[in-house]
Amino acid sequence: MYQIAGAAQMKELDRQAIEEYGVSSLGLMERAAQAVAEEVRGLLEGGGPDFIGGAASVAVLGAGAETEEDRRELEALQALAEEKNQDHAPWVGVLCGPGNNGGDGVAAARILRGMGFRVRAFLVGDRRKMTPDERAMEKKLEEAGGVLEEFRPEDRRQMLWLSLCGCLVDALFGVGLSRPVEGDALLAVRLMQGRSPLKRVVSCDIPSGVHADTGAVLGEAVRADRTVTFTCTKPGLYLGEGASCAGLVTVADIGIPHRLIFGPGAQMCFPVGVMGYEDVVLPRRKRDSHKGDYGRVLILAGSVGYTGAPVLAASGAVRGGAGLVSLGVPEEIWPIAAVKCLEAMPFPLPARYEDILRRASSCEGVLIGPGLGRAPRTERLVRSLLEDLKVPVVLDADGINALDGHIDSLDGRRAPTILTPHAGEFARLTGRPLPLEDPLTAARDFARDHRCVLVLKGHRTVTAAPDGRAWINTTGNPGMSKGGSGDVLAGLILALLGQGWEPELAARDGVYLHGEAGDRCAGSLGEYGMTPGDLVERLPETLEAHVRSGS
């Protein structure tokens, strides 16, 4: 699991490493540049002949050369295109801002030259604002035979040269950017936004134009194929539009002492992690176990017109390994649920509240909400159960909606509660506007203030615990954006909760496994045609892949 740090935390980590531990700032920059250069080399050399040799023929079409100056310009452009066609060395353009992120780029240009690439580095911005470390790297580049050129968007030959590169390195801005990109920097960003079969973009630390803490795009942003981020990964690489701009993220250790991040008393980094495959471990089941060892869980769901949601939730719980799954539905839809559910045990909800409470109280976990509807009587039932139940509860869909205007029903809980809203449900519950500007902070604040576990569903689902810990999920795909997927997730979380997972881990691991099952579906069925039912069918192989011997 990767540790996450925001812009302020990274600035403080750098300061402590340099001022308190004597780490060389130039050494940090050198190692960052080496990581970027290695990423560029791996991208180009692994991309086939079109990337590394300029095998595709390049031509310049030039009708309308009316003056002698136009004719000479056209000849120069055609000569440049011919040079590219005959040059089998990869071309790399490095676009550098005047800050230390630009210094990383200048150093990477020198290292890439040493690797045999055809490299040109361009300064985008005011040379007078260059940091001392970037000036030092410029001097080393010059000593190696290179030069840091001025970026001139009006120069057609310079723009053509950059357009012919197999890779562009984005070293314009680091994690400190907080205002929209403008001027020549905006033109450089736009140059790196365009996709083509012969061009890739590698960003240093974070794509320029992305807010490091929130993932918001500040006007416009680079769309990278790869991002090499330093020391800790950044929230903006996984949240909001930033997740779509980052491409494949690599975290490079550049020499910040580990004790500053992980040591006793380390306070600089968010207690937030990015989930990875190795972080989810399922224990191997004992040979002499029985169904009672794996949890008795109850689902209260469904209403007229919404018969699929309870069945999908029950299927998610059964496939998630729960020992006994009971499904309580309104009497009107009980015959339908009874026909559809073979492994779960559907029953018509009793008329008496006391009977519902008694049955729910005998379980290790209860899920309330999928397809339940918003009738006033139903919402009162949800709030009463929250106040009276002393077992863990998962609230999904209409279970969450029942809290609208009644958040005190959540605050008064005497047992763990997991909420699984999507952004719209969360906005209604909290009064926040959409889109959510900072979903990570919003999720952590809500979980802390209401002493619950919050699963804020989205492109990169955030799971937040009441103690401030949080996790950003990395599995899942657009094929899961279909009604019913969330019901499967709620059932899976309930199953893990019933089997003894701590609430925050049941939520965290359930989100990861659910997304991985979705990725398996997309791999075999495609994102268009996959269904929530397919997710259920992929859960067994997904869970089995995480069973570890001796766990």
Pairing type for strands 2-3 and 272-274 reads antiparallel
CA distance 298 to 328: 7
- From residue 198, give the alpha-carbon distance in Å to each of 42, 90, 97, 109: 15, 10, 24, 19
DSSP code of residue 298:
E
- Residue 155 in this model has a pLDDT that exceeds 50: yes
| In contact, 142 and 113? CB cutoff 8 Å | no
Torsion, Cα 488 517 223 13, to 10 degrees, reads 90
| In contact, 501 and 516? CB cutoff 8 Å | no
Ranges for all domains in the chain classified under CATH 3.40.50.10260: 2-60+73-274
Sign of CA dihedral 218, 221, 224, 230: negative
- Mean pLDDT, residues 35-58: 67
Query: In whole angstroms, how large is the CA radius of gyration of the chain?
Result: 28
pLDDT in tens, 296-314: 999 999 999 999 999 999 9
- Mean pLDDT, residues 149-159: 93
What pTM did the predictor assign? 0.86
Q: Which residues pair with 329 in a beta bridge?
A: 348
User: Whose CA is closest to 218, among 226, 229, 206, 200?
Assistant: 206
- Residue 197 in this model has a pLDDT that exceeds 60: no
Least confident span in 271-280, 291-300, 416-425: 271-280
Which amino acid does the sequence have at 298? L
Residues in the chain: 551
pLDDT of residue 252: 96
- Mean pLDDT, residues 516-520: 98
CA distance 119 to 191: 17
User: How is the beta sheet containing 91-96 ordered, strand by strand?
Assistant: 148-150, 118-123, 91-96, 167-171, 200-204, 226-230, 248-252
CA distance 39 to 228: 7
Residue 156: band (very low, low, confident or very high) from pLDDT cuts 50, 70, 90:
confident
| In contact, 472 and 1? CB cutoff 8 Å | no
pLDDT of residue 85: 59
pLDDT in tens, 387-399: 999 999 999 999 9
pLDDT of residue 266: 63
- Residue 492 in this model has a pLDDT that exceeds 80: yes
pLDDT of residue 276: 83
**Mean residue pLDDT across the chain:** 91
Contacts of 49 (CB under 8 A, 6+ apart): 55
Q: Which two tokens stand for residue 202?
A: 């590698």
| DSSP per-residue codes, 386-434 | HHH--S-EEE-THHHHTTTT-THHHHT-SS-EEE--BHHHHHHHHTPPS
How many C-beta atoms surround the C-beta of residue 286 within 10 A? 8
pLDDT of residue 54: 42
- Residue 251 in this model has a pLDDT that exceeds 90: yes
Ranges for all domains in the chain classified under CATH 3.40.1190.20: 296-548
Q: Which CATH architecture has domain 296-548?
A: 3-Layer(aba) Sandwich (3.40)
The CATH code for residues 2-60+73-274 is 3.40.50.10260
pLDDT in tens, 174-183: 999 999 999 9
User: Whose CA is closest to 195, among 238, 221, 219, 224?
Assistant: 224
Report which of residues 520 and 197 the model is more confident about: 520
- Residue 50 in this model has a pLDDT that exceeds 60: no
CA distance 225 to 47: 12
N-to-C CA span, the chain: 18
DSSP code of residue 72:
H
User: Whose CA is closest to 303, among 329, 326, 325?
Assistant: 329
CA distance 132 to 238: 32
CA distance 226 to 515: 22
Residues above pLDDT 70, as percent of the chain: 89
Residue 317: band (very low, low, confident or very high) from pLDDT cuts 50, 70, 90:
very high
CA distance 279 to 297: 25
Q: Which two tokens stand for residue 254?
A: 């550049």
- Residue 551 in this model has a pLDDT that exceeds 50: no
